[in-house]
Structure 1
Amino acid sequence: MSGRGKANLQRTLSWFLTIAMFSAIFFPVLFVGSYEVYRQYQKEVIIGPEQDAKALFVVLKKGLIAPLWSYTPENAKDLINGVALNPAVEAVIVKDATGEVFSAFSRDVLGEESDRIHLVSDVFFEEQVIGSVDLVFNYSSAKSLVSAYAIQIILITLFQLVVIISIILLILKYRVTEPLRSLKRFATEVSKQHFDSPSPEVKNREFIELADELDAMRTALHSSFTELEEKVEQRTKTLRDTNLELESALENIERTQETLVQNEKLAALGALVAGIAHELNTPIGNARLVTSSLREDARSLKHLSEEGKLTKSEFEHLTSDISDATSLIERNIAKAVTLIQSFKQVAVDRTSDRKREFSLNGFVADILSTMHHITKNTCINIETELDEDCELYSYPGTLSQIIDNLVNNAVLHAFEGLQLTKEMPGVIVISTQVSEKNVSISVSDNGIGLTRDVQSKIFEPFYTTKLGKGGSGLGMHIVHNLVNGPLEGQIIIKSKPKQGTTFVLTIPKQLSKQPDDVAI
């Protein structure tokens, strides 16, 4: 709970106790005072004036018999003046038997008509009407007295309440509020982990027990915090050691992955060398065979010439064979030279990894010339569907490694389980599509296709469907990294089971040129 919440709680408790005490005193006093005012009102306004008026009226009726009978107005006047000593008497009118005013008294008394009691009666003597008396009794003064009395009661009650509430507040302050504040300050210090704060000094038994409990809580919290700090320190040390181990393991993994990537590149280069060696074997073997035949023809020509047995027809026949042999040697050597040049360019690009300008279609042709050994003795054909030629400024070595990996991946996996024949071969198509700023290179096949699960994982490192069969699981991961990294492009896969697979890589025609492009 925040400091403001605690202050609100304390203020609420103080006000609650104050209001409770005030209510416990005010409402009983209010009830008693109200009842007393009501009782006084009934006595002085409702019942008292009527009783007083009737009593005075009876006195007048009896007292006026003699003056009316003896016709002595002076005596009547004295009686009336005596009755008028009551300030509530507003008027007294006495008439004789003829209706003439015999004696009268009146005075101005403020008040409303409803505050007046009007009594009229005949005066009898020996059952004979000898006159009449009219009394007007005004009890507005009684109401004023009751009002003053009520005000007095209210003032006395308020004074009593102020005194009592003041006493209660003082008691609450020194017996409740101050101890609570002291306990609150102690709890606040404990919450700030100031465990050396002195215990609060309180007097009441309940607060002493609460202070003891808070002190016990402080001791327990101190112990818990100490244990927690030790555990946190120990776990921090453990986490630090674990992080160091993980960093070391990550470095090892990165080094291992880098080594595997380099091995993959070297393996691809080794396969390229093996393929070129295999391709060179045919023209060089043919040239060697023709060279042997040419040597025999040369020996025959020399032998016949030395013996003088060389005829014109034999000479023409031998020279014709020698000419054909030299032509065949030239064609095979030219083929070998072409293969060597293609291999040299591809090998240089693979090993240097430098940017340079090159023709897209010529680049694809060079790559194909180094791939014949991959599909030799198989029922798989590699075809091309090339768009118009264009010049690229990019990394040819990186691009050739990507295409080589995609084609090898298709040869190894795309036709697995299919019965291929010369009439119904497997087909791998390398196609290009040129736009204004980019070029798209697709490698597609008509093989077994890929499931969604394989497609979602194919670019992950170490994922392979040939686990334990020589597959490293890095080929497609390397392709993905090279396309998205140095080539600044992207690669997507389109495939459905039994409908073949197409890899489409889109790269910019021109990478940014630097004053001195270095190896990546």
Structure 2
Amino acid sequence: MSIKFRILLTVVLLQVLGFAALLLNYNQRAHVAVVDFNRSQVMASLQASASQMDAMSAQMERTAAGLARGGEHFDEVHHRKNLQKVRNELQRLLLRTFSSFPDAIGGGIWYEPYALSPHEETVGAYVYRSDIGLSFTWDYEETYSGSWWYQLGIPSAWPRNEHRPQYFYWTTPFVNDSGQWSMRVVAPMYDDHQKLLGVATVDWALPEIMGSLQNLRVTPDSKPVLYSPRMAEYLGGTSLDIDDPFAAMDSSYKTQELATPDGNYLYAVRSKTGLILAVCIPGDELSNLVAGFISQTLVVNLFIIIVFVTIMLITLEMLFRPLDRILTALRTSIRFDSGTGQITFAPLQVDSHNEFTQIIETFNRLGKQVVEFTDRLNQTNNELQNEKRRSEELNATLEQKVVERTAELAEKNREVTESLRMLKLTQKQLVDLEKHAALGDIVAGLAHEINTPLGISVTAVSAMEEQLQDMERQYNQNQLSRDYFNDYVEYTREGIDIAADNLRRAADLIARFKQVAVDQASEQKRDFELCDYINSILTSLRPSYKYRPVEVQLKCDHTLIITTYPGALAQVITNLMMNALTHAFPPEQDDRNHPGHITIELTREGDNAVLSFRDDGRGMPENTCKQLFQPFFTTRPEQGGSGLGAFIIQDLVNNQLGGSIDVSSQPGQGATFTITLPLHLNTDAASYDAN
């Protein structure tokens, strides 16, 4: 068996197997596609019917709301008009409303007993559609106040001075006087004192919805149904032989596919009126529908396979004829001389242009490229020799670069040493100047904040020293390569950047702490009215919280005169307000329905003024209260908190203002800051400004 015959046989078998696999896959996919298509069509139709039903129910609710507002209006004006005129206007309102709303089959306005007149117990107007058009009546139900649909809107036991919890109430489906399934929407009415006045109703016939469900019959035995869960009853005569088929439905308004014990397909959707629209499709009928579709396409697919195999056989035979000639020419176009190792290439001659012409031309180009590659190989060898000489020159300049990098490292080491010296000097100054019990905590907090970037800097410098020693060793052993040197330069640059960034960070921390420790009393002491001044501060801070759900209240004695530093007091109030807006009432937890409250209360106790700053926010645990006034303590480090706000408040109150501050808080119960200030700041406290 020749190679050509084997190739032909293999191609034909592969084509037949491929078509068979495609056909099986097509049949399987076709089955799934047809089922999915019918499923999607049914679900879309159900969803459209539910949407139509929801839109119609919304229109019914709007009409009922309009009638309710009209009934409320007539109650407001009936004392200016006699009852007969009100009756006439009620009749015109109902006729005008339902003449422009043909989808409703009736509706009315029903007042509470003796609501419009002390002489008439019931006043109820009703309009309904009949064979002659719209009809109006006053005696539709004379005892309507006790009817089940009226009790749904206003139960007898419901207090008349309280609002009903809903705007609309839908009745369960019922059969009206015309023998049609209907539903009624009931809207409560209120008088100008917000007392229950009566109800307005709109009636809706369901046969149109039932008729639209009949369009969902995919197969002859499909069952479209309309089901009322509140009644546990099917509407329209069609029902399913399944016990509680809709028990697995969730509360959403999307079309759902439900499981059935007999393998049928059940699709259902819940409307906003509470009714369920569903269709049940027998599984065997849908399978027969799919089988019929697949059998129609099977004959066509078999015919296509036969035609394709025939064309492939003819095409392959035509292709192999010139291929045989090309194989013969290829065997004689390349010769190898084993003695000299030379390859002789004779380009193939193209006598005619066919589908193999490009192959022959490509083969000829490949032979020429082999010769060109040999020439380029010799050229590459020459370039390698030149590159070797360049490497030797680079080694000669390497020593100078090593000296330069060593000098840079020495300079960075001096910067680290100087930063350490400045840190120790700053710590000594803090120890000498601090005069209260929290001195140890302040120095520890500062040292912890600064030691981190300094430790990173020392680590980076130590790593660069080790890298330098390793490079010197390789250089002395003539093992230093260009790649290693480039890696060393990049590593050194990254180490220098890390050390410089962390040194700058340490310097920033030192400068910030110095700014906190510097005397805050830079203004003059004066007399001012305390309540008015705090009110001015709150007014200036109002843009910070006026769009937030936070209410600020100031309670104080307007005759409270104090002699102190107003600038320091303003900074204390500002910090307290900003801390409350940030921590007690975080912006991400704002709730317009539950606003927060901040209360500032001023009282006088002897020669002191007592300022109480309270909020009803998140509060703080006991551990946070103990550390609140320590420098650099913050509960929001990831949001950029510096931990100096409460520390500055305590520093200003105790030192510059000559007072005291206490804090009390519980989680979830807010926080209270109590500040006691002397009404007349003495000379000793004022000396804080000089210090």
Bin for the TM-score computed over the shorter chain: 0.3 to 0.5
Larger RCO (alpha carbons 8 Å, 6+ apart) = 1
TM-score with structure 2 length normalisation? 0.26
Identify, as 1 or 2, the structure richer in helix: 1
- Larger Cα-atom Rg: 1
